[in-house]
Amino acid sequence: MDMIFSVLDATLRVSTPLVLAALAGLFSERSGVVDLALEGKMLAAAFAAACVAYIAQSPWVGLGAGIAAGMAVAMLHGMVSITYNGNQLISGVAINMMVSGVTPVLALAWFQQGGRTPTLSDEARFTAIDLPFADAIAHSPALKTFFGHNILVYLALLLIFVVSWVVYKSRFGLRLRAVGENPHAADAAGISVKGVRYMAQAVGGALCGVAGAYLVLAQTGAFIQDMTAGKGYLALAALIFGKWRPWAAVLGCLIFAFTDAIQIRLQGVELPLIGSIPDAFIQALPYVLTVVLLAGFMGRAVAPKAIGVPFVKSR
């Protein structure tokens, strides 16, 4: 029983940054801009959050810095993709390489600890929040699984509701989807395609900022070189897995996080019938699932129609 709760507990912790990044990608891609840069946005945010939280000794200031960094990288991606009509795929790849390269250089120059930042003290991190009935929680693994987390986990949970409301029920959401499906029709209806796309980048950048800050402020306590380790791409995979819909994408994130959580516990364990599974297979599972889905063997994943196409106003 305890094992089930510890797996669920780990699933929640691992899925939080994935969920945030997948929701970020949802905004960008629903607006018609491919977002391979999720990885770079998260990594930049993690670095900024680590530096600023260390100097300010406050997780909230660190979170703010992370959000600002995520948005700054998103604006670069937006400038290339929206203003200069550049190739969005190449922009994403380039941004990921740039961030992956520049962060350890700056970390080394500023903190002289190799490619990482100093470890944060507890005051500068997000720790499990104290609830009035803390005593009850301490004795029950079931309650601890759901109530023993830091505030960002609950923020992510709340954001799922907010995002799905915004995308499907709000005026901005309607415009967002219109711009991603048929920008020329949206343009004819008087919507600023570029404006909506920039807005989507800004929101996505902020969400990636929270995701990156979470990695440092709630998990490792320091920036480590390439610490996102493919989480941006994993979030993108979850987004595709969820066919560009918020709840389904979150489900994808939970499945991926769950496989990650059981992987650690399955190491060397002999399962009935199958024997022991090498962790590499479980690690590769999300990517294999995404390919299978993309191949149309598990229902069709149809991308927003205008995705990847720069909008050039017709005259």
Partner 1 sequence: MSQPANMPRWASLWLMPLLNLFAALFVSGLVIALIGEDPVECLKLMINGAFGYPEGIGYTLFYTTSFIFTGLAVAAAFHAGLFNIGGEGQMYLAGLGVTLVCLQFDYLPAYVVIPLAMLAAILFGGAWALVPGYLQAKRGSHIVVTTIMFNFIASSLMTWLLVDKLRMEGSQTPATREFAQNAWVPMLHEWFAPLGVELPNTPLNASFFLALIALVLFYLVVWHSPKGFVTRTVGLNEKAARYAGIPVDKVIIAVMCVSGALAGLAAINELLGSTHRMNMGFTNGIGFVGIAVALMGRNHPVGILLSALLFGALTQGGLDLSFEKPAITREMIIFTQGLIILFCGALENLFQTPLSAAFKRMLKNQ
Cα–Cα distance, 41 to 115 (Å, whole number):
18
Site mask, partner 1, residues 201-240, x = CB under 8 A?
------------------------x----x--x--xx--x
Instruction: Indicate the SS3 state at residue 86.
Output: coil
Q: Is 264 in the site for partner 1 (CB under 8 A)?
A: no
Query: Is the separation of the CB atoms in 170 and 257 below 8 Å?
Result: no
Query: Is the separation of the CB atoms in 45 and 213 below 8 Å?
Result: yes
Cα–Cα distance, 173 to 182 (Å, whole number):
14
Nearer to partner 1, 23 or 95 (CB): 95
Quick count: other Cβ atoms within 10 Å of Cβ 177? 19
Nearer to partner 1, 178 or 240 (CB): 240
Nearer to partner 1, 97 or 269 (CB): 97
CA distances from 164 to 208, 210, 211, 246, 252 (A): 17, 18, 18, 6, 15
How many residues sit in the footprint of partner 1 (CB under 8 A)?
49
Instruction: Indicate the SS3 state at residue 236.
Output: helix
Contact segment (CB under 8 A) with partner 1 among 12-20, 48-56, 62-70, 89-97 equals 89-97
Site for partner 1 in 97-116 (CB under 8 A): 97-106, 108-110, 115
- Summarize as ranges the residues that interact with partner 1 (CB under 8 A): 36, 80-81, 84-91, 93-106, 108-110, 115, 225, 230, 233, 236-237, 240, 278-281, 283-284, 287-288, 290-291, 294-296, 303
